[in-house]
Structure 1
Amino acid sequence: MFDLHRLRLLRELKHRGTLAAVAQALSYAPSSVSQQLSQLEAEVGVPLLEPVGRRVRLTEQAEILVAHTEAILQRLERAEADIAASLTDLNGTLRIASFQTAALTLVPTALGLLRELHPHLRVHVTHMEPEKALPALQARDFDLIVAEEYPGNPNPRPAELQQEDLLDDTLHLALPMPADGTETDDPMAALLSLADHPWVMEPEGTAARHWAMSLCRNAGFEPDVRFDTTDLLLHVRLVEQHHAAAFLPDLVWSGRPPTVPLRHLPRGRRTRRVFTVVRRGRTQHPAIQACRDALRRASALHSQQA
């Protein structure tokens, strides 16, 4: 019988990419990880790793083992959920990752609801954008993440992960100048009127940046992006002080009146989807269910205030 601990190390290597990353994540010495994987190779009787330059990659047989390991770990998570469901009180630690505007608007309200209903449940929250949070969820660094999906930019949907919608968040064009009282009915014309202005956008490689660039190019111009940041509160400040145009979601206002002039975006491109993601083996865990319920209630409260 193969050693489960060593199988988990092989799985970690698939998700984290390097022996050094596995060692850092698990607080092991790299030599210890390498030794454990060598012992696993001896148990299996076939090579599991092959060199590629200065790194290693999994062989076909190693990929087969990882697939079975995923199934075993999913089953163990279901067992953990069944044990938790048999108890009368929720305790332990729930690890959440969330992108910024949901972390500012939805998560604090959800935490208050969880504290009231389950005072012994310890919730740890990390601000992390979906591009990094989804792989970290697969690597079991988190139990639940709050993620976003922009129009025309669908996220990968690995079979081992399960999504549940929270809300649709409307996106607006934010003007870097006082409103002149003559709002155009044509969203593309409103966009094109800002072709010569500086812009603030999220960094290259993010879904938000890809969506924003596509929107501007469809309107007929290449935006002059002078500010790159995932901090949407900085986006707001730069627009308020007339330094840049931006695309801002409703969530950034946390139910308060907007502080900058806003214009509609083209239909079909004006709403991002906000949702939670968990590993399938954790969907029935009482702490996951309680957190999702709290986030749904927080989303409903936000929608009422918007």
Structure 2
Amino acid sequence: MIDRRLRVLQAIARHGTVTAAAEVCRLTPSAVSHQMQALARELDIALLEPIGRNVRLTPAAHTLLAHGETLTAAWEQARADLAAHRAGAVGGTLRFAAFSSAAAVVVPRALEHLRTEHPALRVFLRESEPGRSFDLLAADEADLAVIVATPSIPPASDAAFEQHSLFDEPLDILVGPDHPLVGRRGVVALRDLAGDPWICGNVGRAYHQLVTLACTAAGFAPDIAHYADEWDTGAALVARGFGVALVPRLADLPAHHDTRRIPITTDPVPTRRVIAAVRAGSQDQPTIAAGLDALRHVTETGLPALGRS
């Protein structure tokens, strides 16, 4: 119902280059350029301006995007209104996208809840980085995304999406068995590790942003000695004294590595906010509403590590 070229234009606006937009839209750069040229001809107005190797949207393109967001939200709401005319149990398919920890701990419990409450509903989970999850929502390749909030995701004011806070998760210090903080009584501050080498995720990933922002808030820049995106790799390095790390409270660390998890007891205590995101206007669709309800049920009753029953 909505011209798919608008989604390509949205991807260009979000990522800044034709090449990046082509990657997230699963098109070739030449196909993206062709679609934008064709759309511009049909509308008889310029949409893109070259800026070096990048492109910039014209004022007309921004106007078109604003109307496109309104049309898309209205179509999503129409689907929700039409669903009210269907009788019977909630059915169809609900597609989740989630970052690694949520995909391992939170979403499977929500899927289990949905299986019990809505047995006719088919569920699907794709693990993905937060930024990629928004691309999947925009491309209608996911319906509901569980995301850790970082500076790289769209702001809450972005009219293309609706974002719902789920919970705030503390980050703990992970050290090896011989680290001086092991067995320490009293106050533990993140800045106590300012002089340690750090193990962090690769640049551009959500975990890297979380660590650097947390350390900056504590008054220091981490000396990153190693990059590891998998908990198994990071825990192996920590266990052998190659550095320290921050780990989310819900992260299930490999038991075969000898590490110690130490809560931070003084401000600033680093946390990460976990949110659910959907396309604007879609949250009242029965399948998506059921998914949001399942996530709320799990986060309110099924996460004892966060201090809930």
Same fold (TM over 0.5): yes
- CA-to-aligned-CA distance 1:77-133 (integer Å, 9 cap, x gap): 111122234322333332221111111111111111112233333322221222332
- CA-to-aligned-CA distance 1:22-47 (integer Å, 9 cap, x gap): 66666667666555544433332222
Q: What is aligned with 1:40?
A: 39
Q: What is aligned with 1:143?
A: 143
Distance 1:177 1:169, change over 3 A: same
In the alignment, is the contact (CA less than 8 A) between 2:69 and 2:159 conserved in 1? no
What SS does structure 1 have at the residue aligned with 2:147? strand
Q: What is aligned with 1:173?
A: 173
In the alignment, is the contact (CA less than 8 A) between 1:100 and 1:232 conserved in 2? no
- Greater shift, 206-215 or 141-150, is seen at 206-215
Identity %: 33
What SS does structure 2 have at the residue aligned with 1:203? coil
Q: What is aligned with 2:186?
A: 185
- Greater shift, 101-110 or 13-22, is seen at 13-22
- Greater shift, 168-177 or 63-72, is seen at 168-177
- CA-to-aligned-CA distance 1:254-303 (integer Å, 9 cap, x gap): 9x9x9624142532433222121112211111111111111122223433
Q: Could you tell me which amino acid in structure 1 is paired with residue 96 of structure 2?
A: I
In the alignment, is the contact (CA less than 8 A) between 1:41 and 1:48 conserved in 2? yes
Q: Could you tell me which amino acid in structure 2 is paired with residue 252 of structure 1?
A: A
Q: Could you tell me which amino acid in structure 2 is paired with residue 103 of structure 1?
A: A
- Alignment of 1:253 with 2:252, yes or no, is yes
What SS does structure 2 have at the residue aligned with 1:123? strand
Q: What is aligned with 2:125?
A: 125
Q: More helix per residue: 1 or 2?
A: 1
Q: What is aligned with 1:108?
A: 108
Q: What is aligned with 2:222?
A: 223
Deviation for aligned residue 1:71: 0.6
Distance 2:24 2:247 in 1: 35
Q: Could you tell me which amino acid in structure 1 is paired with residue 145 of structure 2?
A: I
What SS does structure 1 have at the residue aligned with 2:50? strand
Distance 1:37 1:82 in 2: 32
Q: Could you tell me which amino acid in structure 1 is paired with residue 226 of structure 2?
A: F
Q: What is the CA RMSD across the aligned residues, in angstroms?
A: 3.5
- CA-to-aligned-CA distance 1:157-209 (integer Å, 9 cap, x gap): 22332222222212111222247764243333x743x4454321122234543
Question: Unaligned regions of 5+ residues in structure 2, if any?
Answer: none
